[in-house]
C-alpha cells in the first residue's frame, strides 16, 4: 500500500498524503484527536533492533518497546522466520474439540516456566480478553464445586487489566474509564500501594507495608462472597508505573490462601524477564492460582495471551458427575498456530540469549541513569523495577503538563516515550545494548533540561 502512495505521489509529499489520509480515516487508540491532528506525527515504515524508522527515513529510539511488548526489538530474524515457517503449513485451525502441535507444545513449555502448579493454558487474543476469561474461570470454578455465593472480586484502586467492561470492573482508572462506569459491575477496591505518593508518608526505610491493611480488611470482611483477588504484581502500569514492595504480594498470597480466595496475577505487562526475573511473582516467591500472560509472550510481534491455571481449577471443569461443567468461552483465534509457533520461538530466544543474565548490568545502568534525571526535577520520585524506570513529577508543580512537554522534546530528539499523567518512564527493549541505553537516557535527560 505504501508503494502505491509512492507511485501516485512524489517522495517529498508522500508523508503529507499519508498524514492527510490518516486524519481522514484512522482512529487511534488512547489519542486526543484534536491535538493529534495539529501535530506532525511520525509515520513509521519499518523497524530494526531498538529503532523505528519513518517514511522519510528518520530514526527513532523505541523507548517504550512499542507499548511494553517488543522485548527483542524489531525485525528479529528468529521471530520473523517462525512466522514464515508456520504460515507455510497451517495458518489457522479451530481449537474447540480438536488440537494442533503448536498449541500443545507451547502449553507444555509455559507450564514448565511459570510458577509451580500452573499446569494448564487457556488462550486468548490480548490482555483484555485474557482478563475476561480469567474472571469467568474464577466465577465458574466456585459454581463447579457447589459454592454459588462467591461472585465478587477484590482489586486495587487505579489498577488496569484492560479496556473491556469486565476488565474495567476490576481495574478502574478514572481518566480512562469514567464514561463507562454506569455499565460496570463494581468490585471491592483496596488502597493502591503508591510508593511515589505514600498516603502514610513513609520512606522505603520505614515502610512496613501499611497500605496492605486496606486489602486485609476487605478480605476479612468480604471473603465469603469473593471469588478472586486480581492484581498487577509489583507494578501498576497504567496507574503511572507504581512500583511496590514484594512483601505486599507475599502477604496477599498468604491471606488469599488462608481465606480460600483465588489469586489472579496479571503479568501481561511485566512477565517474561521485564522485572529482572522471568515473572514478577517469582521475585516475591509466590504461586498464584491464575496467571495472565501476553505482550512479551510472542516478543510483541503478533497478538496472543494466555491464562494459566492450577490443576485444582482445571479439574473442576470436568463433567465427572453428569453435570455440565464445560467452560463456554472462546475466541476465534484462541491458540492460533502461527502465534503459538511464534511464542515457542520467543520462549526459545529468552533462553538462548540468556536474557535474565544479560539484563542484570543494564538494570543497574537504567536505575542510575534515571536517578540522575530525577535530580533535575525538584521533588520528584524515582522508582525502578528490572528494565522499568520512571520519574514521578510533582503534581502540585504542574507535573502532568510538564511530562507532556518532556515527551514532545524527547520526540524532537528522536526518542519515543509516552508519559502517564505526571510520570515519565523508560521501558526499553530487553536487548538494548549499554550504548543504546546510555543514548536513550541522554536524550531523555536533554528533553528534561529543555523544560526547566
126-175 confidence digits (pLDDT tens): 999 999 999 999 999 999 999 999 999 999 999 999 999 999 999 988 88
Rounded CA separation 61/443 (Å): 9
Task: Examine the domain organization and report whether 337 and 401 are in the same domain.
Answer: no
Counting residues of the chain whose pLDDT is more than 70, the rounded percentage is: 97
Whether residue 122 is contained in a domain is answered as yes
Whether residue 266 is contained in a domain is answered as yes
| pLDDT computed for residue 9 by the predictor | 52
By three-state DSSP, how is residue 180 classified? helix
pLDDT exceeds 90 at position 14: no
Task: Examine the domain organization and report whether 393 and 262 are in the same domain.
Answer: no
Task: Examine the domain organization and report whether 179 and 302 are in the same domain.
Answer: yes
pLDDT exceeds 60 at position 11: no
**The cell 506532525 sits on which residue?**
40
Task: Examine the domain organization and report whether 219 and 368 are in the same domain.
Answer: no
Output the CA–CA distances (angstroms, integers) from residue 269 to 7, 43, 158, 305, 387, in the order listed: 40, 25, 16, 11, 12
Mean pLDDT of the chain: 96
Output the CA–CA distances (angstroms, integers) from residue 396 to 29, 372, 393, 447, in the order listed: 28, 22, 9, 21
Output the CA–CA distances (angstroms, integers) from residue 39 to 31, 36, 259, 267, 406, in the order listed: 12, 5, 53, 34, 15
Domain total of the chain: 2
84-137 confidence digits (pLDDT tens): 999 999 999 999 999 999 999 999 999 999 999 999 999 999 999 999 999 999
User: What angle do the packed helices 434-449 and 399-412 form, to 10 degrees?
Assistant: 120
Whether residue 114 is contained in a domain is answered as yes
Element (H, E) at 388: strand 388-392
CATH number at residue 155: 3.40.640.10
Rounded CA separation 266/292 (Å): 5
- Band the pLDDT of 407: cuts 50, 70, 90: very high
- Among 295, 322, 352, identify where a domain stops: 352
- Among 352, 369, 400, identify where a domain stops: 352
- Band the pLDDT of 6: cuts 50, 70, 90: low
Handedness of CA 369, 375, 380, 381 (dihedral sign): positive
Q: What does the angle CA 286 – CA 290 – CA 294 come to, to the nearest 5 degrees? A: 100
| pLDDT computed for residue 12 by the predictor | 53
Whether residue 434 is contained in a domain is answered as no
pLDDT exceeds 90 at position 15: no
| pLDDT computed for residue 319 by the predictor | 80
Whether residue 39 is contained in a domain is answered as no
- Band the pLDDT of 321: cuts 50, 70, 90: confident
CATH number at residue 370: 3.90.1150.10
Rounded CA separation 91/236 (Å): 35
User: Which of 7-16, 301-310, 348-357 is the least confident region?
Assistant: 7-16
Task: List strands edge to edge, sheet with 44-48.
Answer: 44-48, 51-54, 59-62, 415-416
Whether residue 31 is contained in a domain is answered as no
Whether residue 430 is contained in a domain is answered as no
Question: Which letter does DSSP use for residue 74 in this model?
Answer: B
| pLDDT computed for residue 295 by the predictor | 99
Task: Examine the domain organization and report whether 170 and 150 are in the same domain.
Answer: yes
| pLDDT computed for residue 427 by the predictor | 99
- Among 295, 323, 352, identify where a domain stops: 352
Q: Compare 395 and 237 and report the one with higher pLDDT.
A: 237
DSSP string over 202-246 = --TTT---TTHHHHHHHHHHHGGGEEEEEE-SSEESTTT-EE--H
Task: Examine the domain organization and report whether 305 and 376 are in the same domain.
Answer: no
Task: Examine the domain organization and report whether 342 and 360 are in the same domain.
Answer: no
Task: Examine the domain organization and report whether 374 and 311 are in the same domain.
Answer: no
Q: How many CB atoms lie within 10 A of CB 53?
A: 16
Task: Examine the domain organization and report whether 328 and 376 are in the same domain.
Answer: no
29-84 confidence digits (pLDDT tens): 999 999 999 999 999 999 999 999 999 999 999 999 999 999 999 999 999 999 99
pLDDT exceeds 90 at position 402: yes
Rounded CA separation 231/252 (Å): 10
Output the CA–CA distances (angstroms, integers) from residue 229 to 14, 21, 64, 126, 288, in the order listed: 51, 45, 28, 20, 10
Beta strands 59-62 and 51-54 are antiparallel
Task: Examine the domain organization and report whether 288 and 319 are in the same domain.
Answer: yes
Q: What does the angle CA 342 – CA 104 – CA 343 come to, to the nearest 5 degrees? A: 15
Nearest-10 Cα torsion for 339, 159, 310, 123: -20
pLDDT exceeds 70 at position 4: no
Element (H, E) at 348: helix 337-352
The residues, ordered by sequence, that sit 6+ positions from 15 with a Cβ below 8 Å of its Cβ are: 43, 54, 55, 56
Task: Examine the domain organization and report whether 112 and 228 are in the same domain.
Answer: yes
Counting residues of the chain whose pLDDT is more than 90, the rounded percentage is: 92
What integer is the mean pLDDT of 184-211?
95
Whether residue 61 is contained in a domain is answered as no
Structural domain containing residue 212: 80-352
What's the grid cell of residue 128? 483484555
Question: Which letter does DSSP use for residue 94 in this model?
Answer: -
280-316 confidence digits (pLDDT tens): 999 999 999 999 999 999 999 999 999 999 999 999 9
Task: Examine the domain organization and report whether 123 and 198 are in the same domain.
Answer: yes
Terminal alpha carbon distance of the chain: 43
Amino acid at each position: 500500500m505504501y508503494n502505491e502512495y509512492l507511485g501516485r505521489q512524489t517522495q517529498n509529499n508522500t508523508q503529507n498524503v499519508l498524514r492527510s489520509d490518516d486524519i481522514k480515516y484512522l482512529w487511534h487508540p488512547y489519542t486526543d484527536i484534536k491535538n493529534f491532528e495539529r501535530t506532525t506525527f511520525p509515520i513509521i515504515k519499518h523497524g530494526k533492533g531498538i529503532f523505528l524508522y519513518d517514511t522519510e527515513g528518520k530514526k527513532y529510539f523505541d523507548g517504550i518497546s512499542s507499548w511494553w511488548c517488543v522485548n527483542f526489538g524489531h525485525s528479529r530474524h528468529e521471530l520473523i522466520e517462525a512466522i514464515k515457517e508456520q504460515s507455510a503449513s497451517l495458518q489457522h485451525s479451530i481449537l474447540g474439540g480438536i488440537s494442533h502441535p503448536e498449541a500443545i507444545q507451547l502449553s507444555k513449555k509455559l507450564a514448565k516456566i511459570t510458577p509451580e502448579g500452573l499446569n494448564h493454558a487457556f488462550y486468548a487474543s490480548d490482555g483484555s480478553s485474557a482478563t475476561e476469561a480469567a474472571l469467568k474461570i474464577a466465577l465458574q470454578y466456585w459454581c463447579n464445586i457447589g459454592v454459588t455465593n462467591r461472585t465478587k472480586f477484590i482489586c486495587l484502586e487505579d489498577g488496569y487489566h484492560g479496556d473491556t467492561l469486565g476488565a474495567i470492573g476490576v481495574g478502574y482508572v478514572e481518566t480512562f474509564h469514567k464514561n463507562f462506569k454506569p455499565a460496570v459491575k463494581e468490585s471491592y477496591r483496596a488502597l493502591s500501594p503508591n510508593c511515589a505518593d505514600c498516603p502514610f508518608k513513609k520512606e522505603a526505610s520505614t515502610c512496613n507495608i501499611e497500605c496492605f491493611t486496606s486489602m486485609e480488611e476487605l478480605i476479612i470482611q468480604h471473603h465469603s462472597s469473593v471469588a478472586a483477588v486480581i492484581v498487577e504484581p509489583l507494578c501498576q502500569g497504567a496507574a503511572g508505573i507504581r512500583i511496590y514492595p514484594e512483601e505486599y504480594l507475599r502477604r496477599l498470597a498468604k491471606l488469599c490462601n488462608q481465606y480460600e480466595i483465588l489469586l489472579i496475577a496479571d503479568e501481561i505487562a511485566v512477565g517474561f524477564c521485564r522485572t529482572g526475573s522471568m515473572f514478577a511473582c517469582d521475585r516475591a516467591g509466590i504461586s498464584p492460582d491464575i496467571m495472565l500472560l501476553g505482550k512479551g509472550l510472542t516478543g510483541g510481534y503478533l497478538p496472543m495471551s494466555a491464562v494459566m491455571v492450577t490443576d485444582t481449577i482445571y479439574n473442576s471443569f470436568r463433567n465427572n458427575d453428569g453435570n455440565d461443567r464445560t467452560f463456554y468461552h472462546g475466541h476465534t483465534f484462541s491458540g492460533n498456530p502461527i502465534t503459538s509457533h511464534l511464542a515457542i520461538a520467543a520462549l526459545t530466544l529468552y533462553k538462548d540469549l540468556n536474557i535474565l543474565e544479560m539484563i542484570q548490568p543494564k538494570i543497574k545502568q537504567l536505575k542510575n541513569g534515571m536517578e540522575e534525571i530525577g535530580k533535575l526535577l525538584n521533588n520528584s520520585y524515582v522508582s525502578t523495577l528490572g528494565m522499568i524506570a520512571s520519574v514521578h513529577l510533582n503534581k502540585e508543580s504542574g507535573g502532568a503538563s510538564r511530562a507532556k512537554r518532556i515527551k514532545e522534546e524527547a520526540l524532537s530528539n528522536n526518542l519515543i516515550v509516552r508519559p502517564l499523567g505526571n510520570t515519565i518512564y523508560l521501558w526499553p527493549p530487553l536487548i538494548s545494548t549499554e550504548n543504546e541505553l546510555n543514548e536513550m537516557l541522554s536524550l531523555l535527560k536533554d528533553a528534561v533540561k529543555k523544560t526547566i
